[in-house]
Amino acid sequence: MQIEPPQFVFMTCKAGAESALKHEVATLEPDWRPSFSRPGFLTFKNSSEPSIDSQRIGEKNWTFAHCLGISFGRLAGDQLRELVRGFWDQPAIVALVSSGVPLDLHVCQREPVSEEDRGLATYVTPLCIEIEKELRSAAPENAKLTREMPAHRKASPRHSHVLDVVVVEPSEWWIGYHVAVRPAERWPGGAIPVRLPPHAVSRAYAKMEEALQWSHLPVAAGDECVEIGCAPGGASQALLERGLFVTGIDPADIDPAVLEHPRFRHLKKRGSEVRRNEFEGVRWLTVDMNIAPEDTLEEIEAIVRHPRVALRGMVLTLKFAEWNLADRVPDFIARVRGWGFRDVRTRQLVTGGQEICLVALKRKALRRLGKKKRPRRKGTWVAAVERSEPPAVRPESVAPIDVAPAADLLPRPDEAHSAPPAPHF
């Protein structure tokens, strides 16, 4: 859908990532100028002739934007009723409602700024739920809202048209519209609700779940995965619970809950010390080392370029000691593409720290071939485990995509490993 000028775009991001996002916008959309800026929330003005196409902007690989759309501007007021009336009376909203298109509603709060809340952020706060209830009950009769107030929230349908309210302050809402093109855009605030179950040994469990759900990487039960930088083991745990075989490489200790799992083995070494034949037959590589992105990529390059290594895809965490490393994201993507990975995407995960997640697949078509089984090489540890005990996948342990409690995200023992706190501008 095309919206006539003047055109503004709104974006949400992690608090602290605003300058990185501004840089990304300057690169991807050079005609957009920064307009309004608060921690975790930005707007941009389109200064070029062609109108903004909300479908097209949603299709881009945005690394630092959690959610984005066309901005209809600000509503300010002290009374909820008055703000709700202002929303439905806003001319662009009236035009969308009159067009008869089915609409969904996303109400989210911008990223909280305070340090205690870092990583605990839930974008759909009780205030957002109250606002959404009020908006729905005051909707004009001709508004075709696609759903009732979801008690158990589900993702908006693919390609649905979504009206957005970003609660910048309780008395200051920014309103807009987007088309839910990618998986994260189907959730308020672009936050795929992943759970950190009580048995998870580190927060990296939730990061791995978010990465897999965001990227739709076709990992399947029975696949072999190597994780470099796996201690204490939360991400490995998430992969084990999806039925994978995991070789964890890390000089640090692994939590016994993971170490004792029959489909896990630990190589207590640095990535560079591991013999290359350990990677033969391995389909997926996941990497989460607390070292500089260049060093991470250097270590991986030596593995993926080896002639006997044939990975299908990778999930890499690239830690940013400094935000200005964000300028290098296109170089990081180009480098990984240079290793033969055609489909490379990046995103600053909601559950991650001062870092980005890079997901790479050899070919896009592999997304559809995820469930294909390949024969085991004889004499490998995986073949031995399979012979002794066929892997039992516990379906109940696979994190469901439609559960909501992002508030389950609690500080975990690997906090000390995580990147330094984000600076606030």
Ligand X SMILES: C[S@@+](CC[C@H](N)C(=O)[O-])C[C@H]1O[C@@H](n2cnc3c(N)ncnc32)[C@H](O)[C@@H]1O
* Closer to ligand X by Cβ: residue 69 or 233: 233
Window contacting ligand X (CB under 6 A); options: 85-93, 116-124, 163-171, 284-292: 284-292
For ligand X, which residue of 119, 189, 229, 293 counts as binding (CB under 6 A)?
Answer: 229
For ligand X, which residue of 164, 210, 288, 355 counts as binding (CB under 6 A)?
Answer: 288
Query: 12: how many CB neighbours lie within 10 A of its CB?
Result: 31
417 binds ligand X (CB under 6 A): yes
Give the residues across from 361 on adjacent strands. Answer: 313, 343
* Closer to ligand X by Cβ: residue 186 or 207: 207
202 binds ligand X (CB under 6 A): yes
Query: 370: how many CB neighbours lie within 10 A of its CB?
Result: 15
251 binds ligand X (CB under 6 A): yes
For ligand X, which residue of 211, 231, 309, 311 counts as binding (CB under 6 A)?
Answer: 231
For ligand X, which residue of 45, 60, 270, 367 counts as binding (CB under 6 A)?
Answer: 270
The crossing angle, in degrees rounded to 10, of helices 329-337 and 293-304 is 0
289 binds ligand X (CB under 6 A): yes
Window contacting ligand X (CB under 6 A); options: 81-89, 125-133, 170-178, 287-295: 287-295
- The backbone torsions φ and ψ at residue 333, rounded to the nearest 5 degrees and listed phi first, read -65, -45
For ligand X, which residue of 93, 354, 414, 422 counts as binding (CB under 6 A)?
Answer: 414
For ligand X, which residue of 232, 243, 281, 293 counts as binding (CB under 6 A)?
Answer: 232
Answer whether the bond into residue 400 is a cis peptide, omega within 30°. Answer: no
Window contacting ligand X (CB under 6 A); options: 16-24, 56-64, 244-252, 403-411: 244-252
> How far apart (Å, rounded) are the C-alpha atoms in residues 390 and 392?
6
CB-neighbour burial class of residue 349 (10 A; exposed 0-12, middle 13-18, buried 19+): buried
206 binds ligand X (CB under 6 A): no
352 binds ligand X (CB under 6 A): no
Question: Nearest CA to 385 among 266, 263, 239?
Answer: 263
Q: In the 8-state DSSP scheme, what is residue 369? A: G
> How far apart (Å, rounded) are the C-alpha atoms in residues 227 and 36?
41
For ligand X, which residue of 13, 15, 135, 228 counts as binding (CB under 6 A)?
Answer: 228
> How far apart (Å, rounded) are the C-alpha atoms in residues 173 and 422?
25
The crossing angle, in degrees rounded to 10, of helices 80-89 and 91-98 is 60
Least separation in angstroms between CB 246 and ligand X: 10
Q: Are 297 and 306 within 8 A, CB to CB?
A: no
**Alpha-carbon torsion 331, 38, 111, 183, what sign?**
negative
* Closer to ligand X by Cβ: residue 158 or 199: 199
* Closer to ligand X by Cβ: residue 118 or 178: 118
* Closer to ligand X by Cβ: residue 28 or 291: 291
302 binds ligand X (CB under 6 A): no
240 binds ligand X (CB under 6 A): no
Question: Nearest CA to 239 among 201, 209, 202, 195?
Answer: 209
* Closer to ligand X by Cβ: residue 119 or 189: 119
Least separation in angstroms between CB 270 and ligand X: 4
* Closer to ligand X by Cβ: residue 102 or 251: 251
* Closer to ligand X by Cβ: residue 192 or 196: 196
What burial letters (b/e) apply to 199-237, b meaning 16+ CB within 10 Å? ebbbbbbbbbbbbbbbbebbbbbbbbbbbbbbbbbbbbb
Interface with ligand X by CB under 6 A: which residues?
A: 202, 204, 228-236, 249-252, 270-271, 288-291, 414, 417
